[in-house]
Amino acid sequence: MHHYFSRRFVRSLALTFAFAVNAQAEHHRATHLGNPATRFAPTMYSPADLRARFSDEKLRPDFAEILHQWGWPGDVDDFYAAGLTNEIIEWQIPVGETMPFMSSREDGKPICLRNVTWAGAAPISAYAFYFTSKGERYRCVTPKPCSNFFVEDLGPEPKAGLAVDCSVPDKIIAGRKLEVCLTVHNTGNIRSTNAVATLQLPENVAVIATTDGGVGTNNSVVWRIPDLSPDSAKQVCTRLKTIQPGSLAFNSSVASPAVAPVQSSCETTVLGIPAILLEKSDDPDPVSIGFTTTYTVKVTNQGTADDANVQVVVNIAPELVPVSASEGTIDGQTVTLPVVPTLAAKQAVTYQIVAKGVKAGDGHTKFTLSSAMLGSSIYAEESTTAY
């Protein structure tokens, strides 16, 4: 076959802005292929012939020159390697198709003709192969009659990618509900299918509820995310009950059939709260004048955190007089019990005060409790009848 182009050659190859504008305006119409004066290389009859073109050291500079004239941004070495090793398939260029460019020759020199429309009587039989360079996917098509070639940009290389973020409040009160959320991101440029997100649970938490069908076990919560489009994200959450104060660390991961597991983590501090209980009693009641009764004072930290500087001061009713105390000091009617520097959660201290009846009447002994946690003191009274 002969090879004819209706063309307007660009004589200067300088890659200036003006050249780029003019190049975009080029248009060529091809009706026959195979003219020895304009074909890039001899006719091909098998894929081995195409391999031979890429292994021909004399043609390599011409390949590079064509791609340079086209302004191809890829790596020429990737192009050569693909032509020598990648699968070669049969291809057809239909009548009326406009190719982005086509290699040709003028006076034996390689030239790049832009926007070439095939206007022949039948489709062109060609060879094609796919390859990747600098993150972009390409298809190289080479008509058999002339070994001319062109490269089509097929867009970014398909790439699967996932990421996961773990989020939790910085602090939470022990016993309250805690929400931990995972945000799964599709960082690739293709859809993600059948992703699995997993949240590893530390000790001392219990799963109360989950979103999006999450399945909780003793040590993890697992979500299945069947579909996630590129550049999108999906958030899934679980609600947990905290039990003990301290630091809680959560490890999370996401994986899919196309992506190896990727991980992240987050942590929170579970805060305890001290809760002070004051209990008091007298025995016996009533008490005869000249006889004694014993006041028992018990202070308990019912909370989940330590309290500090816990102290009780007792003012004995005027119907009685303090005689002794298991601890602390007596000054007139006032018994000052010792300061407890630290009263741990669930810990209790107990004191006893012995008082003697001295005057008949309904006496009211007052108890004042203070601590670092209490914003103001707690007051209580115990009624004791002396007769």
Is residue 22's pLDDT more than 50? no
Instruction: For 266-321, write each residue's pLDDT tens digit.
Output: 999 998 888 999 999 999 999 999 999 999 999 999 988 899 999 999 999 999 99
Q: What is the per-residue pLDDT across 218-229, written as a single tens digit (0 to 9) for each? A: 899 999 999 999
pLDDT at residue 330, rounded to an integer: 97
Cα–Cα distance, 140 to 132 (Å, whole number)? 11
Give the pLDDT mean for 17-35. Answer: 65
- Tens digits of per-residue pLDDT, 161-184? 999 999 999 999 888 899 999 999
CA distance 186 to 368: 62
pLDDT at 279: 96
CA distance 318 to 11: 120
Please check the confidence at residue 7 and state whether its pLDDT lies above 50: no
**pLDDT for 25:** 56
pLDDT band at residue 16 under the 50/70/90 scheme: very low
Structural domains in the chain, sorted by start? 4-156 (no CATH), 162-271 (2.60.40.10), 276-386 (2.60.40.10)
Over the stretch 190-247, which tens digit does the pLDDT of each residue have?
Answer: 999 999 999 999 988 999 999 999 999 889 999 999 999 999 999 999 999 987 888 9
Pairwise pLDDT comparison (250 vs 1), residue with the higher score: 250
Residue 243 and residue 174 in contact, taking contact as beta carbons nearer than 8 Å: yes
Tokens linked to 28: 């060529």
Q: How far apart are alpha carbons 320 and 360 in whole angstroms?
A: 9
Q: What is the pLDDT of residue 14?
A: 26
φ, ψ (nearest 5 deg) of residue 33: -125, 155
**Please, what is the end-to-end C-alpha distance for the chain in angstroms?**
135
CB atoms within 10 A of CB 56: 12
- Tell me the whole-structure pTM to 2 decimals: 0.64
pLDDT value of position 111: 96
pLDDT tens-place string over residues 53-102:
999 999 999 999 999 999 999 999 999 999 999 999 999 999 999 999 99
- CA gap 33, 43 in Å, rounded: 10
